[in-house]
Structures are given as C-alpha cells and as structure tokens.
C-alpha cells in the first residue's frame, strides 16, 4: 500500500523516525485528512483522521534519553579503564597478548560510545499523541522532540490552509428594531 501512496499525488508523506522491527508507522497528509499507517509485523492498520477533527498534538518530553545516556556512560567507563590499563601493561612488557585484549576492549568501548552518541545527538525523547474529539492516538515513530515538533507544525500548516475553505461567514445579526414582535401567547385552556 505504501507504494501506491507514494505514487498518489494526493498524498504527501510526513517524516517520522526510522523503521523499527516489529512495528513502525508512516504518516500521509492529504488535502483534508491525515492517513496513519501502523505496521506490526506483517499486518497494516489504517486510520484516516480529518484535519478539522484534530484538536491537539500532544508532545510530552520523557527522560529516556537521560537514562540511556547514563547507562551507556556507566558501561563505557569500565571499558575505557580496561583498554587504558591493557595498553599500559602492553607497553611495559614484551608480551603482545595485551594488545589483543586492548583491541577487543577498545572495540567494545567504541561500540558503546557510538550508541551513546546516537542517543545523545537525536535530541530529547518524547511521547507523541494526537487528540481528536473522540479518541487519543499514540503516534508511533515520533520519539524525538525536534521531529515531533516538525510533524505538529506540518499538521498545523495543513489545517490552517484548510480552515478558510471550510469556514463559512456567519450572517450579520439582525438589529432589534427589525425583529418582528413575538406572537402573543394564548391563555392556557382550563
């Protein structure tokens, strides 16, 4: 279905985060609605939400980035110390086995630091929900505040473009001098 949506000029794909197994979501913006495609395993679920029904895009920051940063930093610290110690011992002895151990510990250290950099560079983590008059939908794939904010701004722009076309002007109020008198109320029948 995503291939058909990509080739359809009536839909424009909104950015979300990378696909993650076993579930991810994609968001497609049309002239008057948002199509949410949730994929869990091999099952796709579609939701069509009219732009005028959207009341709120709720972006709630979480502490996941901070927690993961501390955990990965705590894992990296012993490997940094181990790598440094193995290099020191390898330089002070003629035995080359220390360099092999230092290379293995250094590889683990580089992997943990790479994961730490990915966690820290992506921006603050968040939960994103879309609220309408009758439901609240968790938006999968929008786990970073900058990306969720950009998503909300695109929805706001699309809804603002739709608002003038959907709104009809209210008729001018009738002045009181032109209002006809009310019919007299007949007395109740006894």
User: Which range is least confidently modeled, 7-16, 17-26, 143-152?
Assistant: 17-26
Q: What is the mean pLDDT of residues 148-175?
A: 75
Which of 98, 143, 103, 94 shows the shortest CA–CA distance to 123?
143
- What's the pLDDT at 166? 53
End-to-end CA distance of the chain: 71
How many other β-carbons are positioned within 10 Å of the β-carbon of residue 38?
18
| CB-based contacts of 158-162 (< 8 A; 24+ apart in sequence) | 158/29, 158/51, 159/51, 159/52, 159/54, 162/31, 162/32, 162/51, 162/52
Contact 53, 133 (CB under 8 A): yes
Q: Helix, strand, or coil here: 40?
A: strand
CA-CA distance, 55 to 38, in Å (whole number)? Answer: 21
Position 111 pLDDT exceeds 70: yes
Q: pTM for this structure?
A: 0.69
- What's the pLDDT at 87? 87
- What's the pLDDT at 58? 92
- What's the pLDDT at 31? 87
- What's the pLDDT at 72? 93
Summarised one tens digit per residue, pLDDT across range 39-98 is 888 888 899 999 888 999 999 999 988 899 999 999 999 999 999 998 888 888 878 788
Task: State both tokens at 139.
Answer: 């938006």
Strand pairing report for 23-29 and 33-40: antiparallel
Strand pairing report for 33-40 and 43-50: antiparallel
Position 165 pLDDT exceeds 70: no
- What's the pLDDT at 163? 66
Residue 177 sits at the vertex; the CA angle it makes with 174 and 178, to the nearest 5 degrees, is 55
Summarised one tens digit per residue, pLDDT across range 113-161 is 999 998 888 888 899 999 998 889 898 888 889 889 999 999 888 888 8
Contact 90, 98 (CB under 8 A): yes
110 vs 189, which has greater pLDDT? 110
């Amino acid at each position: 279905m995503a291939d058909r949506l990509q080739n359809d000029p009536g839909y424009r794909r909104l950015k979300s985060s990378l696909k993650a197994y076993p579930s991810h979501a994609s968001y497609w913006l049309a002239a008057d609605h948002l199509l949410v495609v949730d994929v869990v395993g091999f099952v796709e679920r579609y939701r069509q939400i009219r732009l005028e029904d959207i009341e709120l895009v709720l972006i709630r920051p979480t502490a996941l980035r901070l927690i993961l940063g501390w955990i990965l930093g705590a894992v990296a610290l012993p490997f940094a110390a181990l790598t440094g110690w193995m290099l020191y011992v390898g330089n002070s002895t003629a035995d080359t086995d220390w360099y092999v151990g230092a290379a293995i510990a250094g590889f683990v250290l580089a992997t943990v630091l790479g994961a730490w950099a990915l966690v820290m560079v992506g921006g603050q983590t968040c939960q994103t929900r879309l609220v309408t008059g009758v439901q609240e939908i968790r938006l999968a794939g929008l786990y970073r505040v900058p990306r969720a904010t950009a998503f909300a701004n695109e929805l706001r722009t699309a809804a603002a473009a739709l608002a003038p076309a959907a709104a009809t002007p209210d008729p001018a109020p009738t002045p009181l001098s032109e209002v006809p008198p009310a019919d007299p109320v007949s007395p109740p029948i006894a």
